[in-house]
């Protein structure tokens, strides 16, 4: 749905992006992650036709952002970082204003605004002045505004920035709903954990270069192809009969099995999710009662820390 191909950009003498490549498949929730100054906002603004690349090209929904900016704007909704909202209007007025700015015909406008308020749970706040809204509510209003022309692609720059845990969960639920509607969503953040439960693929950018991109489980392999260190899962069982670790040792990709400090089985393995599936199948086949299987550490977090080599603040 989005292709970024060899993009370079300078501001004056400073090269901000060096040969950036990545793709975002249709229907994906994609995390664009990197420390401050990495070039995330610059890249997102190019996707949104607000800035032109010096080299390379960007396609959104098949349209080149430089050659077909109007087509791109039709299929894309962009929420800038630190989105300013007009303060002295109500939620409904605000959305109606932008619906008219999008040239949505009068007879459709009311329905569109209602539908967007319903989706973003802003209905009960319709008469609320924007100036009297919390940051989390304003953030939802900012997303609502990008949805008015029903774009297929949403680009949200730092949507979870500054939200409290509850507002963040609401944001995650909204993103999930939007994904179910078939939208392709790009979210940026400099904090990986802010996105790790929302995204299925990422691009990690540092100092204007892509360090890794693609589906989360493939990124681990990209970065560590000859991976000597195994990953591990914790398997929790209803009970741990004598010898319950034995069936796992027979699996070819299992490197090590032990009982962890709180009783669970810790199974170190090579490979990806297929090995995890084989571990679960073996447990069930051996008559063990599996309660829970979880990665030992957040994969995304681990990858991020490794590739940014502690340069992240």
Ligand X SMILES: Nc1ncnc2c1ncn2[C@@H]1O[C@H](COP(=O)(O)OP(=O)(O)OP(=O)(O)O)[C@@H](O)[C@H]1O
What are residue 93's phi and psi, to 5 degrees?
-65, -45
Nearest distance from C-beta of residue 208 to Mg ion, angstroms: 13
* Cα–Cα nearest to 126, from 174, 82, 93: 93
Total site size for Mg ion, rule CB under 5 A: 3
Nearest distance from C-beta of residue 49 to ligand X, angstroms: 16
Please choose, out of 11-19, 38-46, 55-63, 116-124, the segment that lies near Mg ion by the rule CB under 5 A: 38-46
Task: Decide whether 81 or 306 has the Cβ nearer to Mg ion.
Answer: 81
How far, in Å, CA of 202 to CA of 190, rounded? 12
Task: Decide whether 81 or 253 has the Cβ nearer to ligand X.
Answer: 81
Region 38-97 residues binding ligand X, contact defined as CB under 6 A: 38-42, 81
Task: Decide whether 170 or 206 has the Cβ nearer to ligand X.
Answer: 206
Nearest distance from C-beta of residue 91 to ligand X, angstroms: 27
Nearest distance from C-beta of residue 311 to ligand X, angstroms: 13
In this structure, what token pair is assigned to residue 139?
A: 């953030």
Region 163-222 residues binding ligand X, contact defined as CB under 6 A: 190
CA 76 from chain centre, in angstroms, equals 16
Nearest distance from C-beta of residue 58 to ligand X, angstroms: 14
What are residue 182's phi and psi, to 5 degrees?
95, 10
What are residue 311's phi and psi, to 5 degrees?
-85, -10
Task: Decide whether 33 or 232 has the Cβ nearer to Mg ion.
Answer: 33
* Sheet containing 2-11: order of strands: 14-24, 2-11, 55-60, 63-64
* Cα–Cα nearest to 173, from 148, 192, 198: 198
Region 224-283 residues binding Mg ion, contact defined as CB under 5 A: none
HSE of 234, CA atoms in CB hemisphere, 13 A? 13
> Which of 41, 184, 196, 213 is the binder for Mg ion (CB under 5 A)?
41
Region 19-38 residues binding ligand X, contact defined as CB under 6 A: 34, 36-38
How far, in Å, CA of 220 to CA of 217, rounded? 6
What are residue 138's phi and psi, to 5 degrees?
-65, -35
Residue ranges in contact with Mg ion by CB under 5 A:
40-41, 81
**Residue numbers at the binding site for ligand X (CB under 6 A):** 11, 16, 34, 36-42, 81, 190
């Amino acid at each position: 749905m989005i292709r970024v191909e060899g993009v370079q950009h300078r501001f004056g003498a400073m090269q901000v992006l060096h040969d950036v490549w990545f793709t975002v498949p249709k229907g994906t929730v994609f995390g664009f992650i990197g420390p401050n100054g990495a070039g995330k906002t610059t890249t997102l603004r190019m996707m949104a036709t607000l800035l032109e690349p010096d080299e390379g090209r960007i396609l959104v929904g098949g349209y080149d952002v430089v050659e077909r900016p109007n087509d791109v704007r039709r299929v894309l909704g962009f929420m800038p970082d630190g989105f300013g909202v007009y303060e002295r209007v109500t939620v409904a007025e605000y959305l109606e204003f932008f619906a008219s700015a999008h040239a949505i015909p009068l007879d459709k406008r009311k329905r569109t605004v209602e539908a967007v308020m319903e989706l973003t749970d802003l209905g009960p706040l319709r008469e609320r002045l924007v100036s009297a809204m919390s940051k989390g509510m304003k953030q939802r209003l900012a997303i609502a505004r990008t949805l008015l022309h029903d774009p297929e692609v949403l680009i949200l720059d730092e949507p979870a920035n500054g939200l409290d845990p509850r507002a963040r969960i609401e944001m995650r639920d909204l993103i999930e709903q939007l994904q179910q509607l078939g939208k392709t969503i790009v979210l940026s953040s400099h904090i990986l954990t802010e996105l790790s439960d929302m995204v299925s693929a990422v691009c990690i950018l540092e100092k204007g270069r892509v360090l890794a991109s693609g589906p989360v489980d493939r990124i681990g392999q990209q970065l560590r192809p000859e991976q000597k260190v195994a990953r591990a899962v914790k398997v929790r069982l209803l009970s741990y009969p004598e010898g319950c670790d034995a069936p796992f040792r027979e699996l070819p990709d299992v490197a090590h099995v032990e009982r962890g400090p709180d009783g669970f089985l810790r199974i170190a393995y090579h490979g990806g999710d297929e090995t995890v599936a084989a571990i679960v199948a073996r447990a069930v086949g051996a008559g063990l009662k599996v309660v829970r299987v979880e990665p030992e550490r957040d994969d995304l977090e681990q990858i991020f820390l490794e590739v940014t080599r502690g340069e992240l603040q």
